Amino acid sequence: MSPPIPPATAVPLLAREGRTSGLEGREGVLYIVSAGLMLFVGILKGINLVIVLGYALLGLFGLNWFLARRSLTGLSARRLARSPIYAGIPTEWNIEVTDHGTGTGNCQLEESTAEGESRWFFVRTRAPRVEVVRSRLTLSTRGRHALRPLRAVTSYPFGLVKHATDLLPGDDLIVLPHPARVDGERLRTWLLRTWAGRDEEQRRLRRVVDREAEIHGLRDYRPGDAPRRIHWKATARRNRLTVKEYEDAAPPRLLLILDPLVVGNSRDGDTKALELAISLAAGIVREWRRQAGARLTLIVAGKKSRAVDGPPGPAITERQLELLALAEACGDPELGAVFTTLSRQALAAPTLVVSTRADSLMPYEIHKTLGRTAAFLSVDRPEGWYQFDGDPAK
């Protein structure tokens, strides 16, 4: 039977403080120099007591080296599953450290990124045990961040020799973009209002907006039913509130295209617009796929456009957010052959283009390729159905 796992201790990932072992290193060097000098003088002058003292100091140094190495034997660790990491939002993950009981002393566990580091003091015991430590992390920018190896460091017991070993290899952290706040109902209403296609496309989009199909019956009113579902004629006839019951409509679908357009000498100005567009696209992905059965296909345009489509569920949602996290600005984004990789159902879905610039030609390219008009939104023309939290461009 394995020992119980104690509650995790949270340690924030603090700003890096430069070299943490410089003083220890100088102390060790000065100690060796002093011992060597004492031994040299004792031998040169023939003072046996000084010679013995020099050898004793060197012996303590060697003992420190041996005990420091021994104090790190029998340690192992593994990173537990962590939740998605969003830019600018604090997150935590757990590390399970196993002490197999073969060492004594103490050590310090260290884990770091380019933005900061976490440290835990770990005391070794003769009894095997498992302890969970927790790292609290806030990364300011989306994209790929390198997580350095988890290290165990010790200078036990005298602080003269520092020994370190890697318990876990380094890892890559995909920091997801900070999602904008999106009102799903108002988004669908806005899509219907801005759609300028044929009648059958209007009907298909209306089913996405209303998420209702034909009435298949009546029933008594229940608390929480929408007032617009009340059947007033039946209510008057039966003298009690009666609501219309609908058959379930097909799950709502959306084809979302991010246009990361950046033009020539305005590249610096468009950097913020790109981050806002990515944040908005991330908010749409989260909100749309939160609905039961909803499907959303995401395309990130570029020199090599990429698409992610799949059934409802958190796994596909996270993959789409990772695609947005790694999106880069492009001077001339092209959809290219990405449409050939998508299913007919995905291509038939109502299309929304989120762009960094109002003069994007992406809607024209979609009309030329798919033969229909796409809803278009540029982040320099705000709409009432979304709101940014803070500044995603930081």
Taking only the tens place, the pLDDT of each residue in 297-337 is 999 999 889 999 988 889 999 999 999 999 998 888 888 78
Which residue has better confidence, 231 or 96?
96
Question: Rounded distance, CA 131 to CA 37, Å?
Answer: 45
The pLDDT tens digits of the residues spanning 40-67 come to 888 888 888 888 998 898 888 889 889 8
Region of poorest pLDDT, from 149-158, 239-248, 321-330, 333-342: 239-248
Q: Residue 142 above 90 pLDDT?
A: yes
Output the pTM of the full model: 0.75
Of 326, 262, 323, 325, the closest CA to residue 297 belongs to: 323
Which residue has better confidence, 203 or 33?
33
Residue 251's pLDDT band, with cuts at 50, 70 and 90, is low
pLDDT at 389: 80
Residue 206's pLDDT band, with cuts at 50, 70 and 90, is low
Region of poorest pLDDT, from 85-89, 164-168, 246-250: 246-250
Question: Which tokens sit at 159?
Answer: 């602080």
Highest mean pLDDT among 221-230, 351-360, 381-390: 351-360
pLDDT at 39: 86
Cβ-in-10-Å burial (0-12, 13-18, 19+) of 329 comes to middle
Strand order in the sheet with 91-99: 9-12, 129-137, 91-99, 75-79
Question: Helix 48-70 vs helix 22-45: angle between axes, to the nearest 10 degrees?
Answer: 150
Region of poorest pLDDT, from 57-71, 131-145, 260-274: 260-274
Question: Rounded distance, CA 280 to CA 385, Å?
Answer: 11
Q: Is 375 helix (H, G, I), strand (E, B) or coil?
A: strand
Domains of the chain in start order, with CATH, are 9-176 (2.60.40.10), 181-204+251-387 (3.40.50), 213-248 (no CATH)
Q: Residue 356 above 50 pLDDT?
A: yes
Question: Rounded distance, CA 352 to CA 350, Å?
Answer: 7
Q: Residue 258 above 90 pLDDT?
A: yes
Mean pLDDT of the 20-49 span:
75
294 and 209 Cβ atoms separated by less than 8 Å: no
Please, what sign has the CA dihedral across residues 197, 199, 204, 205?
Answer: positive
Q: Is 154 helix (H, G, I), strand (E, B) or coil?
A: strand
Looking up tokens 């303590």, which residue turns up? 60
Buried b or exposed e, range 255-275, using 16+ CB within 10 angstroms: bbbbbbbbeeeeeeebeebbb
Q: Residue 204 above 80 pLDDT?
A: no
Percent helix, strand, coil in the chain (nearest 5)? 35, 30, 35
Question: Which tokens sit at 351?
Answer: 């299309």
pLDDT at 36: 85
pLDDT at 391: 58
82 and 66 Cβ atoms separated by less than 8 Å: no
Question: Rounded distance, CA 284 to CA 393, Å?
Answer: 18
Strand order in the sheet with 171-176: 85-86, 171-176, 143-147
